[in-house]
Structure 1
Amino acid sequence: MHNKDKGILWKLFKATFMLSAFTFGGGFVIVSLMKKKFVEELQWFDEEEMLDITAIAQSSPGPIPINASVIIGYRMHGVLGALVAVFGTALPPMVIISVISVFYRQFRENEIIATALQVMRAGVAAVIFDVVLRLAKNVIATRRILYISVMTIAFVLTVFMNVSAMVIVLSCLAIGVAEMLIGLRAQKVEGEV
């Protein structure tokens, strides 16, 4: 393995480890921070590619950060990169949860920790709101009526009608496949003319 490869793998591990270790609030929070790290700071991906990674990570089974790490790691350095990124992402929560499980009763009954967790919830809500605004802005920037309509309808169905997120994801998948097939058919007809 070349030094350049080792350097990329180390940067990948360090980035995923730090993101995972210092991110509270789950997948939607870490996605925003991954975008800042991998798009803006390291410039490994562009904005559109990171949105695609986010969409795949959210619609695949399993935790969003792990799914995103697999894709990012694989994109950067194949299977070895995927393994390094997943290890970097999984290690901090595994250690933290192991420590918490040993002291669970003390954590549960400690008022200071309970208050700290309540305050963290407010911060997490703000970060999730930021992610929603950024993703919405990116969808609107496409100026595609279909995408903007799907986003708006999905928001209304989820927030006001309590439609399951799985129904929304599967419906969006079906719409995306239909759009792709229609586009391919139109290209085929154009090619024949």
Structure 2
Amino acid sequence: MICQKTKLCIWLLGINLFISTFTFGGGYVVVPMIRKYFVSRKKLFSEDELVDMAAIAQSSPGAIAINLSTLAGFRVAGMTGAVISCIAAVIPSLVILVFISMFYVAFAANPLISAVLKGMQAGVAALIVDFVVDMCSMVIKERSLLLTLMIPTAFLANFILEINVAIILAVCCFLCIVRVWVNERRQKKWGNY
């Protein structure tokens, strides 16, 4: 009889192979898929934990999709789950790239392949918009004026003023650190009374 952890590892292998095979467009597209299978269906961790993992995956070096899959696997089944999830997230892309590189000349000139790739771009855009809407709604639920105003301010700073994204991220991180520090000071102050 197969133990529970072995079943979970087999499930991690299968689901990460599936997610990696059918998500085109990068790491942000993986988030809704992980939400669907890990949070909504299996209830292996919460929505808040997913947001935390997505933030860590985004700020860590490497591909967001692989980082997030690895973190989800680690959260579910420890180091074994992390290794299985990481390998499963890499295999489909590796196989597809090897196949495409073997027939690159034929693929590059084929109008049908070009049309399929254009269609995939539209699907990726829709998934990214869905992710942004979900993230914004979670920020608004915090009921923090600072966090809520950061969303349009960051957008305007990049889109209108063309400020580098790294600078925007650094300023937002600094403001959030100051916010946490101020809140902790307030709690300590009120805790003494």
TM-score (norm 1): 0.91
1:84 Cα shift?
0.9
Runs of 4+ in 1 over 6 A off after TM superposition: none
Distance in 2 (CA, whole Å) between partners of 1:3 and 1:50 is 26
Distance in 2 (CA, whole Å) between partners of 1:124 and 1:118 is 10
1:145 Cα shift?
1.1
Match of 1:20 in 2: 20
What is the SS of the residue equivalent to 1:187?
helix
1:184 Cα shift?
2.6
Match of 2:32 in 1: 32
Superposed CA RMSD in Å reads 1.6
Q: Does the 8 Å CA contact 1:158/1:165 hold for their aligned counterparts?
A: yes
Match of 2:170 in 1: 170
Q: Does the 8 Å CA contact 1:59/1:169 hold for their aligned counterparts?
A: no
1:54 Cα shift?
1.3
1:190 Cα shift?
3.3
* Corresponding position: 1:43 with 2:47: no
What is the SS of the residue equivalent to 1:161?
coil
Match of 1:141 in 2: 141
1:27 Cα shift?
1.2
Letter in 2 for 1:73: G
Match of 2:90 in 1: 90
1:121 Cα shift?
1.1
Change (3 A) 1:143 1:188: closer
Distance in 2 (CA, whole Å) between partners of 1:139 and 1:107 is 42
Match of 1:186 in 2: 186
Superimposed CA distance per residue, residues 130-180 of structure 1 (whole angstroms, 9 cap, x where no aligned partner): 211121122112222121011221122222222222222222222222222
Letter in 2 for 1:19: I
Match of 2:109 in 1: 109
What is the SS of the residue equivalent to 2:44?
coil
Q: Does the 8 Å CA contact 1:13/1:85 hold for their aligned counterparts?
A: yes
Match of 2:128 in 1: 128
Letter in 2 for 1:136: C
What is the SS of the residue equivalent to 1:25?
coil
Identical counterparts, % of pairs? 34
TM-score (norm 2): 0.91
The size of the alignment, in residue pairs, is 192
Structure 1 residue runs of 5 or longer lacking an equivalent are none
